[in-house]
Amino acid sequence: MAPASTVRLLDYRQYPFAIPSVSLDVVIEDRLVQVTSTMAVEPRASGSASEAMHLRGVELELLEIRIDDQVLASADYSVETSRLVLKHPPAEPFSLTTVCRVDPFSNASLEGLYASGGMLTTQCEAEGFRRITFHPDRPDVLSRYRVRIEADRQMYPVLLSNGNLIRSGDVASASGRHEAIWDDPFPKPSYLFALVAGDLREVRDSFRTASGRDVALRLHVEPGDEPFTAHAMASLQRSMAWDEKVYGLEYDLDEFNTVAVRHFNMGAMENKSLNIFNSKLVLADAETATDGELERIESVVAHEYFHNWSGNRITCRDWFQLSLKEGLTVFRDQCFTADLHSQALKRIEDASMLRNTQFREDAGPTAHPVKPDAYQAIDNFYTTTIYEKGAELIRMLQTLLGKERFMRGMGLYFRRHDGEAATTNDFVAAILQGALEDGEPLGFDPEQFERWYVQAGTPEVQIARAWDPQHGRLTLTIRQTTAATPGQPDKQPLVIPLLWSLVGADGEPGEEQLLVLDQPEQTLVLEGLASAEQPPALSLFRQFSAPVHWQADQSMTELFHLFAYDNDPFARWDAGQQLWQRLLLARAAGDVDIALEKQMQSSLEVLLAADGEQDPAVLVTLLSFPGGAELEALQEVAEPLDLYLAGCALREQLGTALAIPLKARLEQMGPQLDQVWPEGQGERQLTGLIWSWLAAAGDHQVRDQALDAVTGPSMTMARYGLRSLQPLDCVQREKALQRFHDRWQQRPVIFDTWFALEASTPRADGLERIQTLLDHPRFDPMAPNAVRAVLGGLAGNPVVFHAADGSGYRFMAQQIIAVDQRNAITASRLAKVFSRWRFYSKERQRQVLEGLALLQSAELSANTREVVDMMMA
Ligand code: B3K
Ligand code: ZN
């Protein structure tokens, strides 16, 4: 398989040739596709002799190569593994034509051109274009593309590529064949190229831009799927309107196409004017998707659409700058969802997600900065650090500068770099310059801020207080440190925006303040506070103002006070999270903290009471336990199974102790439950949460309700029903899974959920059952959704994955090896399930190592090899 070689940021140099235009002629035949590419090439260096021209190409059969229509002598070029070198290209502009054959029908990698069901489709980011034709295939080479596609009309009635359709019709010389010619006027990097050919049905709508242009919006789906497209279409229209309103950015072509594909490595892809989506992120309505899935679809549709500016019009100079487009686009889609739904809930959701995925990555063997400096397989760097931490860096700029100054900087960025391949430094420079236009000082050191891009790891902030009750003086001593990460032993202090406030004994909130941390240690003295025995409660990192861990010397009483009164929804939720952490960690250690549990129960009784917390969605956040990854990070020796069992036991305890108020709250929710998303989602969430507590406490009536929901009209309630029954070894659980199976087995997009549920259900014979799933007639090993459902389900099943005999680890390793033979991207992602192994007990470490040894001795792709090597380093 592909040999590993390291690419370094320091080695970046501009590609020595400009390629202003690329013309592709793609002829789809029965078993093969012939691609003729003609590129206009302009050597950048002036002078007589030009340097050799290196092009990339993977699994291409080169039939012919011409320069200015002269067939090239074999001495003038060489074709090595994955590379075509023109030894003496002309020093003047020339045209380069290559004719290649590719075989999409046996391409299981789902990169480049591949077959999915009856259609042909592409995925070129990051380096898939080289599987279609010879090309430099790097993001700083921007070209205008013109594409002719020719195919059998019956088999491939729809032929799509980027840009505008120039012509379509029959091919005169061949009966039954037709062609389409597409032209994209915007120069783009090769990773944004896309082509789709197949028997697809079109759902059409439109959008009128602020400047009055009508854009045709087309969604292309497999026959029969048309009824499930309304939500994605409406999401697209909302996204287009939002980008105009908030950023003043309009769509720039007359049509926008989206295609849903069943075999897809990730969520979706922002190809210029031809977005390609994993079908599960397009096809949805209230009966077939949960509220959470509907919101996710809306946000992914928005994310891909927003890329049209943050990614396509302004792209990345090289892959080290990936966060330039991904961090920024995540930031934009987060703001979109917050604007459309709830600022508070979105912030809590994002903070929780960051803590459970990115913090874990930052603390493990694959930790890397938002701007990495080296990689072997770029596909391994589509991580939560690049995406979500990247978005947090941008949010910190907004917090530090204030929204108005920040948005001025955004405006400058989009104007200044339009049409360019830019860097994260360009981005920060534009934001700061835009902010400074008002002549006010920045308030922080920009160079120090940029350390966030190059320094990996989650900073730790320690806050200690000294209280002088007589003088009402509170002194905070604040220290920041960042632990070493692989390859970065020494860390520098960062610019950390700390939003804080005081919350008085009566719950009265103080004013929110910004403190910029930039020293290893600094102090803040607050004078003139009311003298009292205890200082006022301290609300910290409000709005989750920085992606850091923090620890303060807060007492449990203070946390309960914040949990009840803090007026910042994030900080209030966070105070509760700290309390839940204590409770769960104590239980996991076999040491129930009875007094604290009682106190929590009393505080929950207040929240649940009729005059308690009124917003059901907020109540759900307050009642939700911290994620397993967060808790694990707080254990001296990580014991995921103990944590899982602690969660089950605590639910049972609370469901028993609070049965009366929980049931009372359930009864209040009747009619709202049936409202159409986004209405009613808080009520549905709260119902689901209460079910899970009461079902755990053995309430048969609730267990039956949960079971009935599986065949009801709402997928949201069906899944809450299944989730509350899943941990329980009871008849309702088995019936619920069976009913879900029977109801959805004909619908692959939904049926993957059944695979995931089965794989993650804790059962004594778990592994045998997982094997049955892999052998199931409806399991499609080529579909990453199905693979992730089963193997991801297994990884999320603590009882089976972390079984005491190590069988879960070995099984997983064997499966990863098998997946890697077909699909390196999916396999290397799955391999990260082992990344926590060094935090486990000695015995567990030995067992994981057995699994890792299997991986190490296997023939692996460069992608998976890189991940395994990182874990073993
Ligand atoms: N840009 C794509 C991700 C491509 C992943 C390549 N392995 C989707 C997105 O972030 O919008
Ligand atoms: Zn993206």
Residue 103 covered by a domain: yes
Handedness of CA 392, 126, 183, 207 (dihedral sign): negative
pTM, rounded to two decimals = 0.98
| 195-222 mean pLDDT | 98
Give the chain's radius of gyration (CA, Å).
28
Ligand 1 and 270: CB distance under 6 A: yes
Residues 6+ apart with CB under 8 A from 558: 534, 537, 538
pLDDT classification of 382: cutoffs 50, 70, 90: very high
Residue 334 covered by a domain: no
The preferred substitution site among 109, 125, 190, 323 for testing ligand 1, maximizing ligand atoms within 8 Å of CB, is: 125
| 619-631 mean pLDDT | 98
| Residue 593 CB neighbours (<10 A) | 17
Ligand 1 and 266: CB distance under 6 A: yes
Task: Give the residue ranges of DSSP H helices in 132-290.
Answer: 230-247
| pLDDT 10s digits, 800-855 | 999 999 999 999 999 999 999 999 999 999 999 999 999 999 999 999 999 999 99
Ligand 1 and 382: CB distance under 6 A: yes
Ligand 1 and 184: CB distance under 6 A: no
Query: Measured between alpha carbons, how far is 250 from 211 in angstroms, rounded to an integer?
Result: 8
Closest to 830 in 3D by CA, of 778, 805, 800, 867: 867
Tell me if 373 sits within 8 A of 9, measured CB to CB.
yes
| pLDDT 10s digits, 709-752 | 999 999 999 999 999 999 999 999 999 999 999 999 999 999 99
For residues 106, 110, 111, 116, the Cα torsion angle rounded to the nearest 10 degrees is 70
Ligand 1 and 127: CB distance under 6 A: no
Q: Give me the catalytic one of 304, 630, 632, 683.
A: 304
DSSP 293-347: HHHHHHHHHHHHHHTTTBTTTBEESSGGGHHHHHHHHHHHHHHHHHHHS-HHHHH
Percentage with pLDDT > 70 across the chain: 99
Query: Which residue in the block uniquely carries the two structure tokens 């063997």?
Result: 365
Ligand 1 and 255: CB distance under 6 A: no
Ligand 1 and 829: CB distance under 6 A: no
Number of domains composing the chain: 1
Instruction: Give yes or no for residue 445 having a pLDDT over 90.
Output: yes
Instruction: Please give the mean pLDDT across all residues of the chain.
Output: 97
Tell me if 494 sits within 8 A of 430, measured CB to CB.
no
| 314-339 mean pLDDT | 99
The preferred substitution site among 382, 861, 863 for testing ligand 1, maximizing ligand atoms within 8 Å of CB, is: 382
Q: How much distance in Å is there from the Cα of 270 to the middle of ligand 1? A: 7
Domain that holds residue 22: 1-199
The preferred substitution site among 270, 303, 378, 826 for testing ligand 1, maximizing ligand atoms within 8 Å of CB, is: 270
| pLDDT 10s digits, 428-437 | 999 999 999 9
From atom 1 of ligand 1, which residue's Cα is the shortest distance away? Answer: 269
Tell me if 19 sits within 8 A of 138, measured CB to CB.
no
From atom 8 of ligand 1, which residue's Cα is the shortest distance away? Answer: 269
pLDDT classification of 671: cutoffs 50, 70, 90: confident
Query: Which residue in the block uniquely carries the two structure tokens 């070995």?
Result: 810
pLDDT computed for residue 3 by the predictor: 53
DSSP 216-260: EEEEEE-TT-GGG-HHHHHHHHHHHHHHHHHH-----SSEEEEEE
Q: How much distance in Å is there from the Cα of 644 to the middle of ligand 2? A: 33
pLDDT computed for residue 1 by the predictor: 47
| pLDDT 10s digits, 392-418 | 999 999 999 999 999 999 999 999 999
| Distance separating the N- and C-terminal Cα atoms of the chain | 21
Number of H helices, E strands in the chain: 31, 31
| Residue 471 CB neighbours (<10 A) | 11
Residue 46 covered by a domain: yes
Residue 332, φ and ψ in degrees, nearest 5: -65, -40
Give Cα separations from 658 to 586, 595, 608, 653 (angstroms).
20, 16, 9, 8
Query: Quick one: which atom of ligand 1 is closest to the CA of 268?
Result: 8
Tell me if 382 sits within 8 A of 601, measured CB to CB.
no
| pLDDT 10s digits, 152-169 | 999 999 999 999 999 999
For residues 735, 739, 742, 746, the Cα torsion angle rounded to the nearest 10 degrees is -140
Residue 171 covered by a domain: yes
Decide: residue 42, CB within 10 A, 0-12 exposed, 13-18 middle, 19+ buried. Answer: exposed
Domain of 67, CATH number, reads 2.60.40.1730
pLDDT classification of 81: cutoffs 50, 70, 90: confident
Q: Is position 361 annotated as part of the catalytic site?
A: no
| pLDDT 10s digits, 8-36 | 999 999 999 999 999 999 999 999 999 99
| pLDDT 10s digits, 268-298 | 999 999 999 999 999 999 999 999 999 999 9
Residue 70 covered by a domain: yes
| pLDDT 10s digits, 536-569 | 999 999 999 999 999 999 999 999 999 999 999 9
pLDDT computed for residue 370 by the predictor: 98
Residue 96 covered by a domain: yes
Q: How much distance in Å is there from the Cα of 277 to the middle of ligand 1? A: 11
Instruction: Give yes or no for residue 59 having a pLDDT over 90.
Output: yes
Residue 176 covered by a domain: yes
Query: Quick one: which atom of ligand 1 is closest to the CA of 267?
Result: 8
pLDDT computed for residue 752 by the predictor: 98
pLDDT classification of 223: cutoffs 50, 70, 90: very high
Ligand 1 and 333: CB distance under 6 A: no
Instruction: Give yes or no for residue 47 having a pLDDT over 80.
Output: no
Percentage with pLDDT > 90 across the chain: 97
Q: How much distance in Å is there from the Cα of 327 to the middle of ligand 2? A: 8
Ligand 1 and 388: CB distance under 6 A: no
Q: How much distance in Å is there from the Cα of 124 to the middle of ligand 1? A: 9
Query: Quick one: which atom of ligand 1 is closest to the CA of 326?
Result: 10
Residues 6+ apart with CB under 8 A from 70: none
Instruction: Give yes or no for residue 186 having a pLDDT over 60.
Output: yes
Residue 107 covered by a domain: yes
Query: Measured between alpha carbons, how far is 274 from 294 in angstroms, rounded to an integer?
Result: 22
pLDDT classification of 180: cutoffs 50, 70, 90: very high
Ligand 1 and 326: CB distance under 6 A: yes
Q: How much distance in Å is there from the Cα of 772 to the middle of ligand 2? A: 35
Query: Which residue in the block uniquely carries the two structure tokens 């305890």?
Result: 653
